[in-house]
Structure 1
Amino acid sequence: MKTLFKTLVAGICLVIFLGCAKNEEPEKIYRIAGKMNIDNRNRTYLLNLPPDYYNNESTVPLVIALHGTGGSAAQFERDYRFTDQTNRTGFAVVYPEGVRSDGVLKLRTWNAGTCCHYAYEQNVDDVKYVRTLIDHLISTYKINTKKIYVTGMSNGGMMAYRLAAELSDKIAAVAPVSATMVLPGAIQPSRPVPILHIHSVKDTIVPYAGGVGLGGYTFAPVDSVLRVWAAKNACAASPQVIVDDQHYKLTEWKDCSNAATIRCYLTRDGGHSWPGGKKSNPRGDEPSSAINASELICNFFQGNSLP
């Protein structure tokens, strides 16, 4: 009887021990809602790690995805199905959020140079925020420091151009969508930066040909912006038209320094929207069905890295 009792006690202790050991195993967290304080402002972001993040020791590439005016981390992820694409291609993705305005709508914006609204008017240092965020993610997660990229929609795409100009030592390539560059002076990137630009010829919010858009801002023509970058990247003088059909026009600047190619997709359909995504609001433009921006962007990023 004593032997049986001792056996039962030993079994119970073993179960308790194993249960405690199991509970002590770190939980594998793939989605992190984070925040940090930059210049006395609370800044927020959403980070998603790829499905195989914990299965190997290698570092992963990172995409920084910037929403447009009035958008958010959740809105970008939902409407553009971007996490679905980064999970398939093995990228980590972080969705930072712009500061909220003090108006009734509390719209989030980025200070991309001379646009847009509250962030620009208050001279918010969004470059500092993104730089600090990159450093934090590198020190906390297995991020490949040579494979950090930026994409953005509208005002977020404008911010992507600013980051390409001012953080080219950290960012391997950028992919602005429905945007243009709004920096007031000459750009001085420290290295050539590969660029994938996506736009619709029907965009009236940020017109591809330039001019006055939404909010009364005057925007530079995208062609002139890409010519500036082609010169900085020491590309061949004349771009090549790769595709020009009823769906879209693909133009490419080749033979660039350090293979920093520039590509531009100009769709015939759509408007101020994310091609292949969903409408962000009922009154918004229909997205182009000619291309899938999220897929093109991830494929483009996979071919580029810092030296």
Structure 2
Amino acid sequence: MKKIFLLLLVIVFTFVGIKFYQSSHTKKTDSLDQYFSIIHNNTERRYRVHIPTTYDENKKTPVILNLHGGGGNIDSMADMTGMNETSDKYGFIVVYPEGTLQKVLGKSLGSWDTGMIKKIITVDDVGYISAVIDDVKTKYNIDEARVYATGISNGAQMSYKLACELSNKITAIAPVASQGAFTTCPLSRPVPTIHFHGTEDICASYNGGLCGGCLQKYFETLIGVSTADTTYACESVPNFIEKWVKINNISEAPKLVLEKDTARCISYGNGQDREVAFCSVGNMGHAWPGGNHGIVCEDADSKKCKDYIRVMGNTSNTISANELMWQFFSKYSL
């Protein structure tokens, strides 16, 4: 019981800091973001929308769904990825759905039901996200043929699940820092995919073996008390990509499409409606290429930041996931 209480305190104080940061460091591009709620399966759930500065209500506008990782929320995801700035640059709408919130001493920690055997929660997140898309189109002039999904970690797993189960609404996906966690994938059509992963990621292990448990390791570092094991067996990222290529019914060998410093992108089925691209980033851990570590590293010299990086690994600016995924998404429509 003492272990649980101490862990909850660490989580709460961590997220209290995030809330303070968000309320006092709001970026100009975030200031007009809208928050909405819908009722799905008798539960009220919210989402956040960023409308680009060039939005024209008379023109259909593409949408990117940006899914936070486990323990995150819609605001932390916007801050970490910088997707709003990319939205303003290219003119797409960003929608931040929010996972099921677990209340911990009044603070909200979100996660997704991604289909893994070792479940965090059991809810209909595919149905919720489908309902979010339907709700957004009642408020804005969206291009329903160009709705894309991305996410990090637990959110990346959810992106794969959406491809498997909601391909009638999801045009293409861009998972970051996690293999898919599904046990079956009833894919009704090929879903173009670009996957980003750090070669030094031990949280969603690039080399496979055991995945998960990194947040727990970080909290243990902070409080010096061991917590429950949350790791699970996973295959290597290259092996998972090969499996996804087969699911997408691609038979061609990969082609090198980008090489920059430690980053390397290959493409299977390049130019086809089922393309799978895979970008590996050397020396990067469990992170968003071109993004940041968020509030925990606002002070890069702080102990909590150094401990976080020690567990999660480094970020990298070698490539921008935002830029590359938008280039990729722009090629595809339903």
Q: Could you tell me which residue of structure 2 aligns to residue 124 of structure 1?
A: 123
1:289 aligns with 2:313: no
Contact 2:65–2:149, Cα closer than 8 Å, also in 1: yes
Q: Deviations over 1:202-253 (max 9, x none)?
A: 0000012222122212223222332233223332342223445651221210
2:120, 2:78 → 1: CA distance? 27
What pairs with 1:1-307 in structure 2 (closer than 5 Å)? 31-54=33-56, 57-103=58-104, 106-114=108-116, 120-185=119-184, 187-213=185-211, 214=213, 215-243=230-258, 246-254=261-269, 259-280=273-294, 281=296, 282=305, 283-284=308-309, 285-306=313-334
- CA displacement at 1:69 relative to structure 2: 1.0
In 2, the alpha carbon distance for the partners of 1:273 and 1:121 equals 21
Shift of 1:106: 4.3
Mapped to 2, the partners of 1:263 and 1:140 lie a distance apart of 33
Residues 279 and 122 (structure 1), Cα distance of their counterparts in 2 relative to 1, 3 Å cut? closer
State the distance in 1 between where 2:157 and 2:279 align: 16
Preserved CA contact (<8 Å) 1:236 1:255: no
For this pair of structures, how many residues does the alignment match?
A: 272
Which has the higher relative contact order, 1 or 2, with Cα contacts under 8 A spaced 6 or more apart? Answer: 2
Question: Closer, same or farther in 2 for the Cα pair 1:102/1:148, shift >3 Å?
Answer: same
> What CA distance in whole angstroms lies between the structure 1 residues aligned with 2:143 and 2:232?
37
Name the % identity: 30
What is the Cα deviation at residue 169 of structure 1?
Answer: 0.8
Secondary structure of the residue aligned to 1:65 is strand
Tell me, in whole angstroms, the C-alpha distance in 1 between the residues paired with 2:256 and 2:263.
11
Separation of aligned partners in 2, 1:253 and 1:74: 34
Instruction: Give 3-state SS (helix, strand or coil) of 1:107's partner.
Output: strand
Tell me if structure 1 keeps the 8 A contact 2:68–2:155.
yes
CA RMSD of aligned residues (A): 2.0
Deviation at 1:303, TM superposition (A): 1.3
* Cα 1:108/1:87, change in 2 over 3 Å: same
2: distance between equivalents of 1:191 and 1:180? Answer: 20
CA distance in 2, matches of 1:142, 1:125: 26
C-alpha displacement at 1:40, in angstroms? 2.4
Evaluate the alpha carbon distance shift between residue 242 and residue 59 of structure 1 in structure 2; reply closer, same or farther with a 3 A threshold: closer
User: CA, structure 1 residues 260+30, in 2 after alignment: closer, same or farther (shift >3 Å)?
Assistant: farther
| Residues 30/207 of structure 1: CA separation in 2 closer, same or farther (3 Å cut) | same
Deviations along 1:57-97, whole A, 9 cap, x unmatched? 11100000000011111111112111000111110010011
Q: CA deviation at 1:260?
A: 1.8
**C-alpha separation between the residues in 1 aligned to 2:60 and 2:174?**
22
| Cα deviation, residue 255, structure 1 | 5.4
* Aligned counterparts of 2:72 and 2:111: Cα–Cα separation in 1: 8
Separation in 2 of the partners of 1:231 and 1:139? 37
Runs of 4+ in structure 1 over 3 Å off: 102-106, 241-246
Question: If the length of structure 1 is used for normalisation, what is the TM-score?
Answer: 0.83
Structure 2 length-normalised TM: 0.76
Indicate if the aligned counterparts of 1:115 and 1:155 stay in contact, CA closer than 8 A. no
Max radius of gyration: which structure?
A: 1
Using the TM superposition, give the Cα deviation of residue 195 of structure 1 relative to its aligned residue in structure 2, in angstroms. 0.3
Amino acid at match of 1:211: G
Letter in 1 for 2:187: P
Q: Structure 1: state its 5+ residue gaps.
A: 1-28
Q: Secondary structure at the match of 2:47?
A: strand
SS of 1:44's equivalent?
strand
